[in-house]
Amino acid sequence: MLDMVEQKKLKKSEAGEELTTMQTKLIDLANAVKAAKIPVIITIDGWAAAGKGSQIAKLIKYMDPRFYNVEPIRIPNEQEKRKPWMHRYWMKLPKQGEFLILDGSWFSDTVKSYMHGSIDKDGYKRRIRDINTFERQLRDDGYLIIKLFLHITQKEQKKRLDGLASDEFTRWRVDAHDFENNKHYDKIFRRYEKTLAPTNTEAAPWHIIPANDKFTAQFEIMRIVTESIEGACAAKEKGTLYKMPQEFPAAQPESDDTVLVKRKKLAEIDMNKSLTEEQYRRRLKKYQDRLFELQNICYQRKIPVIVAYEGWDAGGKGGNIKRVASALDPRGYEVKPIAAPEPSELARHYLWRFWTRLENDGHFTIFDRTWYGRVMVEPIEKITPQERANMAYREINEFERWLTDWGAVVIKFWINIDKDEQYRRFKERENTPSKQWKITDEDWRNREKWDEYEKAVDRMIKLTSTDIAPWTVIEGNDKKYARIKALKTICERIEERLGL
């Protein structure tokens, strides 16, 4: 793509007026973005010394600083290295109506990591796939992504580096490494080309900016930014900004290498499993001791473990989680109860609030309810349209793929009880003073929709039971049996991951 770029030079006398018009328009467009609640991400990549910083400064001169945030992308810090590589980009997502402007991005991050040798060829390929997925997921959620690449020639780069190095105020910004890279301009050029091509997608196309001439670069950036925003506002008004799936269910696109694994429907499960008190005691001790040992190994090897609990109301999630938690060294896990999202969470991609809750590698993160609310309670309670929720099967599989690529063991439980057992437990809660806080009218209302929920659960399990993150349905009528099965499954999945 870079070789197609002509390093043109616009004249201020000719284009200056048009630039001023666009700058004025940007002020209105920022208000329109706020009104339309469109979150906007602008990434500025390009050659060292291409003027990324100063172009950002010129761009934001016409924007309200309360509604944008500029973030430089550097080498990941110690903390960031303990999370999936895209975690830091998820963390920075802007709210609806606000701007995130990145100096550098997941693109340059990937190119640099590969050229420095911190990722290998396979890792590089996976990152390209991750970038495509990430950008598509955001676009599908209504994000506008504007990707700019500032292109300068080798000669121009040399000239600028010399300039920076000779000024006492800017000297610290360049080092021997930059000059070395300038000598290897051709090699870097080829790597840029090879990375630009597969990341030039409909969801987030590239805009190559000829940047030898600063005024021309400024003009082109302003043109692309204003045009893109105008386009997005118009699309939002027409209702075409969100990308609805062509067909249902959109769970398994051809590009995915995730394999679905078969699971029984809830109705086919034998719910008569139970344990005696004696069996329970012995196995509880056995698996809790084992889990403690395994946690120790995971901690030392920095393997993250994600345990996701879903299940019927009164299914016994709380008590089950307690038995898992009490086996663990408390400094190495955290339980995350998932309630209704807060305003700042609603203003971002729905997976954001799960990204923010990931513990470091080597730790356990236990979710009490999860991202699967998106395909169960949200469409059933009409919080999210069914068509939008349908897109989540694929997105969730991709999310879990990110987790397993990070090295995580992802364990998902559906705690199943039958309808009679739920009734019994609801009644017991109502009749036990210390348990009354656990039962609300909402529980009874949800119960009325049992069949609808069962259908949604069957579909969820069918479409998101993958080889990397399979569902385990737990027969929960007997709490003892359920607890042992959960503990045993966690142990086995970790052992499998550790190759034990």
Residue 496 makes CB contacts below 8 A (sequence gap 6+) with: none
Q: x/- site string to its own copies, residues 415 to 434, per CB under 8 A?
A: -------------------x
The Cα–Cα gap between 205 and 304 comes to 34
Among 246, 255, 276, 300, binds its own copies (CB under 8 A): 300
Q: Shortest gap between Cβ of 347 and its own copies (angstroms)? A: 11
Q: Are the beta carbons of 137 and 398 closer than 8 angstroms?
A: yes
> Per CB under 8 A, does 57 bind its own copies?
yes
Pick the closer one to its own copies by CB: 101 or 408: 101
- 412: which strand partners? 308, 471
The Cα–Cα gap between 386 and 479 comes to 33
Tally: H helices and E strands in the chain: 19, 10
Interactions with its own copies, residue window 93-132 (CB under 8 A): 101, 103
Q: Shortest gap between Cβ of 426 and its own copies (angstroms)? A: 19
Part of the chain binding its own copies (CB under 8 A), chosen from 11-19, 122-130, 326-334, 454-462: 326-334
Q: Are the beta carbons of 226 and 25 closer than 8 angstroms?
A: yes
Tokens 């199943």 map to which residue? Answer: 416
Part of the chain binding its own copies (CB under 8 A), chosen from 128-136, 240-248, 321-329, 463-471: 321-329
Q: Shortest gap between Cβ of 468 and its own copies (angstroms)? A: 26
What DSSP letter does each residue of 285-299 carry, written as one string?
HHHHHHHHHHHHHHH
Pick the closer one to its own copies by CB: 196 or 482: 482
> Per CB under 8 A, does 165 bind its own copies?
no
Among 11, 18, 72, 385, binds its own copies (CB under 8 A): 72
Q: How many CB atoms lie within 10 A of CB 493?
A: 19
Pick the closer one to its own copies by CB: 66 or 116: 66
The Cα–Cα gap between 476 and 315 comes to 7
Among 6, 78, 122, 448, binds its own copies (CB under 8 A): 78
Among 15, 53, 123, 201, binds its own copies (CB under 8 A): 53
> Per CB under 8 A, does 13 bind its own copies?
no
Interactions with its own copies, residue window 347-386 (CB under 8 A): 366, 368
The Cα–Cα gap between 280 and 276 comes to 6
**Closest to 408 measured CA to CA, from 301, 258, 336:** 301
> Per CB under 8 A, does 318 bind its own copies?
yes
The Cα–Cα gap between 251 and 249 comes to 5
Q: Shortest gap between Cβ of 311 and its own copies (angstroms)? A: 14
Among 7, 326, 386, 432, binds its own copies (CB under 8 A): 326
User: Amino acid identity of 376?
Assistant: M
> Per CB under 8 A, does 77 bind its own copies?
yes
Pick the closer one to its own copies by CB: 112 or 126: 112
Tokens 């105020």 map to which residue? Answer: 169
> Per CB under 8 A, does 60 bind its own copies?
yes
- 472: which strand partners? 413
The Cα–Cα gap between 464 and 372 comes to 10
Q: Are the beta carbons of 198 and 111 closer than 8 angstroms?
A: no
Q: How many CB atoms lie within 10 A of CB 250?
A: 18
Q: Shortest gap between Cβ of 281 and its own copies (angstroms)? A: 15
Q: Shortest gap between Cβ of 299 and its own copies (angstroms)? A: 9
Interactions with its own copies, residue window 260-299 (CB under 8 A): 293, 296
Q: Are the beta carbons of 426 and 417 closer than 8 angstroms?
A: no
Part of the chain binding its own copies (CB under 8 A), chosen from 254-262, 317-325, 458-466, 473-481: 317-325
Among 321, 391, 457, 460, binds its own copies (CB under 8 A): 321
> Per CB under 8 A, does 172 bind its own copies?
yes
Q: Which run of H or E residues covers position 475?
A: strand 471-475
Pick the closer one to its own copies by CB: 341 or 407: 341
Q: Shortest gap between Cβ of 169 and its own copies (angstroms)? A: 6
> Per CB under 8 A, does 322 bind its own copies?
yes
Burial classification of residue 268, based on how many CB atoms lie within 10 Å of its CB (0-12 exposed, 13-18 middle, 19 or more buried): exposed
3 state DSSP class of 335: strand
What DSSP letter does each residue of 107-147 carry, written as one string?
HHHHHHHHHTTSS-HHHHHHHHHHHHHHHHHHHHTT-EEEE
Q: Shortest gap between Cβ of 369 and its own copies (angstroms)? A: 10
> Per CB under 8 A, does 343 bind its own copies?
yes
- 208: which strand partners? 149
> Per CB under 8 A, does 168 bind its own copies?
no
Part of the chain binding its own copies (CB under 8 A), chosen from 51-59, 184-192, 259-267, 465-473: 51-59
**Closest to 130 measured CA to CA, from 87, 162, 68:** 87
The Cα–Cα gap between 139 and 159 comes to 38
Q: Shortest gap between Cβ of 53 and its own copies (angstroms)? A: 6
Chain residues in the site for its own copies (CB under 8 A): 28, 31, 35, 53, 56-57, 60-61, 64-67, 69-72, 77-79, 101, 103, 169, 172, 293, 296, 300, 318, 321-322, 325-326, 329-331, 334-335, 337, 342-344, 366, 368, 434, 437
